[in-house]
Amino acid sequence: MSGAVEFVKGSARLVVSGGRAYKAWVAALLALVAIGGIAYVHQVRTGLIATNMRDQVSWAFYIGNFTFLVGVAAAAVLLVIPAYVYQWKPIKEVVVLGELLAISALTMCLLFILVDMGRPDRFLHIMPLLGTPNWPRSLLAWDALVLNTYLLLNAALVLYLLFKTYRGEHYDRRIFLPLVLLSIPVSISTHTVTAFLYNGMAARPYWNASILAPRFIASAFCSGPAVMIILFQILRRTNRFPIKDEAIWKIAELMSYAMFLNLFLLGAELFKEYYSATEHLRYTQYFWGGLDGHRALVPYAWLSLTCSVAAFVLFLIPRTRRNYVTLNLGCLLIWAGVYIEKGMGLIIPGFTPDTLGEIYEYTPTATEWAIAAGVFGVGFLVFTALVKIAVPILVGTFRAPERVAAPGPSSAGIPAQ
């Protein structure tokens, strides 16, 4: 396996070298990680009291970010389906980049769970074999299982494919294809299980709606591909990465359908809550209109709705979908809309008012913001490094030394197949 050593060395070289913009980007991310690290040390020293989470609102900003990112991770891989159906040219590249995004998003998910725990040193108790997971009863034990399976599956797939391509060998379809096909149901199940984690809690009526899992999937299909669209454009500019405009526009079109579904499901839920107006309405009211003068989340609720509707319109109209300015604006809007809706907008009203009827208005502390920034820093750093290694392999500029010397290497720009 001397090839493996060469591969690691070459990869490391790729990660540390780059232009000005790349170095600045990495430096910025490292700064975020440092800020997050310092804040986390503070949190570990003082305990969860360093956050604004209390017994009334015991899951908050961290878990909101976690939920949003599970969606990103799930949807990244789902892009395989349209890529296959519409026969986009670089399908292998779409798969690999989707999986890299999934790996980074999952890294962030696991970190967000870890920083939310009161005793992160005991997380091994949840792991299969190592600990004593309460499986199959506990949805959290399920979630840990599917998230880690999904992470391992993606990592194995990407590593296999990239290493083979790097060596200039053909990948074995009998290994590759079943794994890709397996990753699709696993990606859907990660998101469904996460939805069920909230959905199954009868104690929290705000989450106890059967529409939750479908809503999760619909909104995930908005936020995940938004990252991919932006990434594809960057790669097209910096590398000779052959993705066609049509593919990008198609993704945007699919996102507008997903957003429509998401908004429709939201409307269905709002109708049910407001028309039947049971005592369970209070949570929805807290989010959309405030409750007894507590209105901390109200501006965000409407901001989220505005962003989502605007993005839907931008992606629906062919002219704005095809214009790269409005397209990228739409990506940002959709990201913001879903981030609020699936993050704080999902978690906080679930706990406000609490089961005893008390209202504790939660807003994150500076420590929580800093730690979240640090986690995003780690995630984007992982993503940047992975993309930096993967793209040269995919476009054929990073090859095993013996292959480069060999006659007739694949010409750059066209993936070696």
Residues forming contacts to another protein in the complex (CB under 8 A) are: 47-49, 55-56, 58-59, 113, 116-120, 122-123, 125-126, 131-134, 137-141, 144, 197, 201-204, 350-351, 354-356
Query: CA 272 to CA 94: how far, in whole Å?
Result: 39
Name beta bridge partners: 294: 291
Q: How far is the CB of 206 from another protein (least distance, A)?
A: 11
- Whichever of 202 and 405 has its CB closer to another protein, that residue is 202
> How far, in whole angstroms, is CA 78 from its chain's centroid?
12
**Is 50:42 a contact under the CB 8 Å cutoff?**
yes
- Whichever of 69 and 96 has its CB closer to another protein, that residue is 69
Q: How far is the CB of 142 from another protein (least distance, A)?
A: 9
| Burial (CB count within 10 angstroms: exposed 0-12, middle 13-18, buried 19+), residue 90 | buried
Q: How far is the CB of 313 from another protein (least distance, A)?
A: 36
Q: How far is the CB of 350 from another protein (least distance, A)?
A: 7
Name beta bridge partners: 102: none
Instruction: List phi, psi (to 5°) of 291.
Output: -135, 125
User: In the 8-state DSSP scheme, what is residue 409?
Assistant: P
- Whichever of 138 and 323 has its CB closer to another protein, that residue is 138
- Whichever of 250 and 280 has its CB closer to another protein, that residue is 280
From 328, 338, 394, select the one nearest 98 (Cα to Cα). 394
**Is 362:348 a contact under the CB 8 Å cutoff?**
yes
- Whichever of 10 and 133 has its CB closer to another protein, that residue is 133
- Whichever of 139 and 186 has its CB closer to another protein, that residue is 139
**Is 389:15 a contact under the CB 8 Å cutoff?**
yes
Q: How far is the CB of 50 from another protein (least distance, A)?
A: 11
Query: CA 249 to CA 317: how far, in whole Å?
Result: 11
Taking each helix axis as running N to C, give the angle between helix 2-16 and helix 139-166, from 0 to 180 degrees, rounded to the nearest 10.
100
Instruction: List phi, psi (to 5°) of 241.
Output: -105, 115
Q: How far is the CB of 47 from another protein (least distance, A)?
A: 5
Which residue has tokens 């159906």? 85
Instruction: List phi, psi (to 5°) of 365.
Output: -85, 170
Structure tokens at 122: 């005991």
Q: How far is the CB of 286 from another protein (least distance, A)?
A: 16
Q: How far is the CB of 277 from another protein (least distance, A)?
A: 17
Query: CA 390 to CA 403: how far, in whole Å?
Result: 17
- Whichever of 47 and 318 has its CB closer to another protein, that residue is 47
Q: How far is the CB of 371 from another protein (least distance, A)?
A: 16
- Whichever of 112 and 335 has its CB closer to another protein, that residue is 112
From 221, 287, 238, 335, select the one nearest 21 (Cα to Cα). 238
- Whichever of 138 and 239 has its CB closer to another protein, that residue is 138
**Is 386:100 a contact under the CB 8 Å cutoff?**
yes
